[in-house]
């Protein structure tokens, strides 16, 4: 019925985000977040990591299977692709901060793949529920450039009408009331797209080209 609220409307991390906290305290608090149902069945919250004074922050979609087990973002194969691409584009991976728009691993099981956990994209409501963590991270770090890795990160930073195919490799102004306010946003593909592509080399080169736009914006 039009106007009826679903239980998902109440999803939000906001009550779990402590005011005035530094990154360490935010990370500790996020470990206990129950702002949406995605914490159920996972190993742990995967908070952002890296240089707290970074000039560039990279935002992905959500942790994957390896990240969920290890509790760190981008430690799986996609993270290795990203590190190589950053380096090639002229951005030192050690001088970045990396996080995800959603801090818990969303997955499903399919009978033919046994117990293996298969990645499932977060819904817009789950994305919005987790937004207060991303906003708090960006507010503390105050990066000059935010790289949106893939469509979900782009929607978290630029709104639900964002299309990665159209806007990748460009410099966009963050909405003054959005999570990346004050920073330039450079969207690109998620590095896992390289691993899924038939022509990995071409897709990888596209990722590097987009990251060069971010490197040039840093000057
Ligand atoms: S996905 Fe985000 S909002 Fe949902 S429980 Fe995890 S940390 Fe909280």
pLDDT band at 2 (very low <50, low <70, confident <90, very high): very low
Sequential DSSP letters for 79-104: HHHHHHHHHHHT--GGGEEEEESS-S
Residues 43, 38: Cα–Cα separation, whole Å? 11
The atom of ligand 1 lying closest to the CA of 36 is 4
Domains, the chain: 19-218 (3.40.470.10)
Q: What pTM was estimated for this model as a whole?
A: 0.95
Mean predicted lDDT score pLDDT of the chain: 94
Kindly state if the Cβ of 14 falls inside 6 Å of ligand 1. no
Residues 95, 138: Cα–Cα separation, whole Å? 15
CA 190 to centroid of ligand 1, rounded, Å? 20
pLDDT band at 8 (very low <50, low <70, confident <90, very high): low
Cβ(16)–Cβ(31) below 8 Å: no
Q: Which residue among 8, 34, 71, 101 has the greatest number of ligand 1 atoms within 8 angstroms of its CB, and so is best to mutate?
A: 34
Q: How far is CA 57 from the centre of its chain?
A: 10
Sign of CA dihedral 157, 162, 164, 166: negative
Kindly state if the Cβ of 215 falls inside 6 Å of ligand 1. no
Cβ within 8 Å of residue 118, ≥6 positions away? 107, 108, 109, 110
**pLDDT of 14-65, one tens digit each?**
999 999 999 999 999 999 999 999 999 999 999 999 999 999 999 999 999 9
**pLDDT of 71-111, one tens digit each?**
999 999 999 999 999 999 999 999 999 999 999 999 999 88
Residues 5, 210: Cα–Cα separation, whole Å? 40
User: What confidence score (pLDDT) does residue 4 get?
Assistant: 54
């Amino acid at each position: 019925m039009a106007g009826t609220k679903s239980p998902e409307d109440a999803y939000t991390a906001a009550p779990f985000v402590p005011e005035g906290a530094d990154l360490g305290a935010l990370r500790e608090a996020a470990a206990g977040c129950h702002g949406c149902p995605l914490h159920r069945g996972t190993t742990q919250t995967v908070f952002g990591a890296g240089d707290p004074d970074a000039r560039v922050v990279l935002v992905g979609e959500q942790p994957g299977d390896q990240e969920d087990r290890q509790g760190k973002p981008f430690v799986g194969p996609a993270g290795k692709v990203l590190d190589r691409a950053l380096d090639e584009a002229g951005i030192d991976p050690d001088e970045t901060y990396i996080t995800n728009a959603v801090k818990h691993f969303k997955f499903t099981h399919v009978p033919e793949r046994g117990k293996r956990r298969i990645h499932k994209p977060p819904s817009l409501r789950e994305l919005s529920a987790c937004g207060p963590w991303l906003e708090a991270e960006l507010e503390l770090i105050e990066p000059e450039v935010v790289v949106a890795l893939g469509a979900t990160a782009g929607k978290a930073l630029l709104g639900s009408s964002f299309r990665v195919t159209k806007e990748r490799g460009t410099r966009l102004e963050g909405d003054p009331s959005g999570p990346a306010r004050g920073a330039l946003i450079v969207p690109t593909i998620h590095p896992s797209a390289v691993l899924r592509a038939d022509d990995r080399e071409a897709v990888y080169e596209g990722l590097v080209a987009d990251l060069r736009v971010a490197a040039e914006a840093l000057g």
